[in-house]
Structure 1
């Protein structure tokens, strides 16, 4: 199960927040855990770490919500007849992740792992719009995080 990660570090704020951004190798571990769980391989993912301004702008433009958010997922759909293994892009807001981890009394690295896995599942077509979809997606997140030794984030 091999993920290729294009990591884009666009966050230039608080040094403590910047230092908590996961390494490309950690991201690869988390994405590969999803790929293994889902039985897929050899896909590329772009993961971009941003500030609240960029997150808010993208969230407003693409979701109609005028506030920063933890992770945004942008699935890639290749034109017909063009085989490419790009799964899509994740945009992760570093200050939101750090703030949420503190508010939820979680290790910031565990919250990054959760939000990365959550975003990858979105790229794979999972959603949480209705209760049944949310339960399925959350169960997958819990299972995948457990393989990484990370506790249930919903407790």
Structure 2
């Protein structure tokens, strides 16, 4: 099987933390929880710093400030208010369906983990799961959607042995 998760490291601190080793099981746990087969899909995760994510946030969301994680689904996915999104159709093994891209900022993640008194590795896995769910069409703008997304995150994190972040 071709690797379905492409990791791009723009900040060496992510390499030192082991972003790939944290992201792979987080995405696999998310796929398992929502019933998405890994084969036939691809996605890209970029580990960057606050300066880079602030530019991306400004370019794509009109908010020129750092944030913890951003997601760009390859296509618009979603669901009825308060419902689970439909799963995307898989591509071929040699021509996988792209789910989209995720960027995660080291500085913001480290600051949030420290402020919450939790290990950086746990927080990173949570944010990778969060970003991945956005690629599938989960959202948290409306309370009903937030309830669905957060409950799904909690179940995925439990699969990883991580506690409820909410």
Q: 49, 52, 65: which one pairs with 1:51? A: 49
Aligned to 2:69: 71
Partner of 1:140: 152
Aligned length: 145
Please provide the CA RMSD for this pair.
1.9
Q: TM-score, normalised by structure 2?
A: 0.81
Map of 1:80 onto structure 2: none
Superposed CA offset, 1:40-69 (max 9, x none): 112211000111111001101111112111
Structure 2 match to 1:4: 4
Gaps of at least 5 residues in structure 2 are: 76-90
Inter-partner Cα distance in structure 1 for 2:130 and 2:18: 16
Matching residue of 1:126: 138
Picking from 17, 21, 27, the partner of 1:20 is 17
Distance 1:47 1:39 in 2: 21
2:30 partner SS: helix
| Distance in structure 1 (CA, Å) of the matches to 2:114 and 2:3 | 29
- In structure 1, stretches of 5+ residues that fail to align are 78-82
Q: Which has the higher contact order (CA 8 A, sep 6+)?
A: 2
| Matches of 1:37 and 1:149, distance apart in 2 | 14
Separation of aligned partners in 2, 1:105 and 1:117: 19
What SS does structure 2 have at the residue aligned with 1:138?
A: helix
- Output the CA distance in 2 between the equivalents of 1:29 and 1:127: 22
1:3–1:31 Cα contact (<8 Å) kept: no
**1:89 correspondence with 2:101:** yes
Residues 8-57 of structure 1, C-alpha deviation per residue, up to 9 Å, x if partnerless? 01014xx5x752242x2331111011111111112211000111111001
Structure 1 stretches (4+) deviating beyond 3 angstroms?
none
What TM-score, normalized by structure 1, do the two folds share? 0.87
1:31 alignment partner, one of 27, 30, 34: 27
- Indicate the SS of the match to 1:112: helix
